Amino acid sequence: MNFSSKLIQEAVGQISQLPGIGKKSALRLVLHLLKESPETTKELSASLLNLRNGIKYCKACHNISDDEYCSICTNSYRDKSVICIVEEIPDVMAIENTNYYKGLYHVLGGLISPIDGVGPSELTIDSLIKRIENDKNIKEIIFALSATMQGDTTAFYISKKLKPYSLKISTIARGIAIGSELEYTDEITLGRSIATRINFEH
C-alpha cells in the first residue's frame, strides 16, 4: 500500500502488528485518530504507556494488579479458604464475570506442554505450593483449566504435588453447555457427561 506519508506508514505498521488487526483496519484507525482531536491520541498513548509501565502482578496469585497484591486477594469479603487455579489472566476475568465464585485465584501463566517446551518450572506451581504451605486457611483447590490434554496433564501434575496437604481438590464440571442441543454435542463431551452424571434434584 502507498500511504504518501511516512508517519502514516509508521503508525499503520505499528498498529497492524497487534493481533487481529490487518493493514486496512490499521489505516482506518489511523485516519480516525486524525479526524479526532489531538487530545484523543494523547490520552490513548498515555493510557497504553501507563498500563505497560505501571502494571504489576499480584505476589500471591499472579493476577494483574495495580499494587503488590491484587484487589481480589486483598478483598476481605472473599472466601480465603478456596483457590481456583486458572491458566491465564483472562480466565480470572471470565470467572469473575459469572459472579458465581467468591474465593481466590492462582494464575499458572500457562499449561504444561512438553511439545511447546513448557515444563512445570515455567509455571507458577512452586509459588502455589509455597502459598498453601504458608497459609493454613486454604482448604480447597478448584481446577478451572481448559478441557484439553494440556489442561488435564497440568491438573494431574499439580494434584500429585498437593497430595501431602490434605486439601479438597475438584475440577470444574465438563458436560454439554447450557442452551446447547444434544445432537450437536461432540461424542467425547457427551460420553463424559453421561459418565459424570449428577443427581437430579426434584
Please give the residue ranges that form the binding site for a second copy (CB under 8 A). 1-8, 10-11, 13-15, 17-21, 25, 27-34, 38, 40-55, 63-66, 70-72, 89-90, 92-93, 96-97
Question: At its nearest, how many Å lie between a second copy and the CB of residue 59?
Answer: 14
Longest dimension (CA), the chain: 71
Question: At its nearest, how many Å lie between a second copy and the CB of residue 156?
Answer: 26
Choice between 3 and 157, CB closer to a second copy:
3
Give the angle 47-31-5 at the CA atoms, nearest 5°: 105
Choice between 33 and 176, CB closer to a second copy:
33
* Beta bridge partners of residue 86, listed in sequence order: 107
Pairing type for strands 103-107 and 140-143 reads: unpaired
Question: At its nearest, how many Å lie between a second copy and the CB of residue 6?
Answer: 6
Which residues have CB under 8 Å from 43's CB, separation 6+? none
Choice between 87 and 155, CB closer to a second copy:
87
Q: How many CB atoms lie within 10 A of CB 28?
A: 14
Give the angle 102-106-112 at the CA atoms, nearest 5°: 140
Cα separation, 183 vs 180, in Å, equals 9
Choice between 39 and 186, CB closer to a second copy:
39
Choice between 8 and 190, CB closer to a second copy:
8
Question: At its nearest, how many Å lie between a second copy and the CB of residue 23?
Answer: 11
Question: At its nearest, how many Å lie between a second copy and the CB of residue 15?
Answer: 7
